[in-house]
Amino acid sequence: MNLSPVLKYEAFRQAMEGRKKLSIHNKAIMTVIDFSLASTEKRLVVLDLENKKVLFNTLVSHGKNSGENYATNFSNQQESLKSSLGFFMTENTYNGENGYSLVLNGLEEGINDNAKARYVVMHGADYCSTGTISSLGRLGKSYGCPAVPREYAGPIINTIKDGTLLFIYADNPDYLAKTHIIHQPNVLMAQFSRKQRLENADEG
């Protein structure tokens, strides 16, 4: 798929691991948001895995209290105004205060399962634009929603609605310590090495 120009390998690997483990209605389409990147970069990627195509690669805003140009703080709490990490399944669409919007169901308990109660949805926003970057040096910020450029909201939402996987990545140690979905090879290798050292010491 030649993803290296648009998506980090580790973000893709973790997303694919969740795709294998989770019960997702439509596994052909997958969205990855990489919050390890600056808001000035195109950190949302929509993939058609069946046809091996990149459908969208665009800007996406993070929560007001998650950081400035970079998102570094995340929360599952009501009124935190922060983004949440991890795996979500897309649900229905509706027209609300922010126009055409997509409901997101957080699939990880204690990490993002308050998303619906917090009204964390995907929607279009004027502050998610190259014009805002030009004036502020970064994107504008949401109340925790992954907001996309207004002109892409309809096409993206219509592509990923109704049961596709959305994964928000950030190379975040706190998330990796809490999630039960992502395999952590470095941690497991360290545990194995320690066990092996202890066994060798016992034999000696």
Lowest-confidence pick of 119-133, 140-154, 159-173, 190-204: 190-204
Q: How confident is the model at residue 187 (pLDDT cuts 50, 70, 90)?
A: very low
Predicted confidence (pLDDT) at residue 199 exceeds the cutoff of 90: no
46-103 pLDDT per residue, tens? 999 999 999 999 999 999 999 999 999 999 999 999 999 999 999 999 999 999 999 9
Vertex 22: Cα angle to 21 and 25 (nearest 5): 135
The answer, yes or no, to whether residue 161 has pLDDT greater than 50, is yes
And the tokens for 109? 């308990």
Torsion angle defined by CA atoms of residues 66, 177, 78 and 123, in that order, rounded to the nearest 10 degrees: 60
Q: Is the pLDDT of residue 191 over 70?
A: no
The correct CATH number of 9-203 out of 3.90.180.10, 2.40.50.140, 2.40.440.10, 3.40.50.1000 is 2.40.440.10
User: Running DSSP on this structure, what letter comes out for residue 83?
Assistant: B
With a cut of 60, say whether residue 188 has pLDDT above it. no
Check pLDDT > 70 for residue 201: no
Which tens digits make up the pLDDT trace of 126-135?
Answer: 999 999 999 9
| Contacts of residue 3, Cβ cutoff 8 Å, sequence gap at least 6 | 9, 12, 45, 47, 54
Determine contact, residues 155/95, Cβ cutoff 8 Å. Answer: no
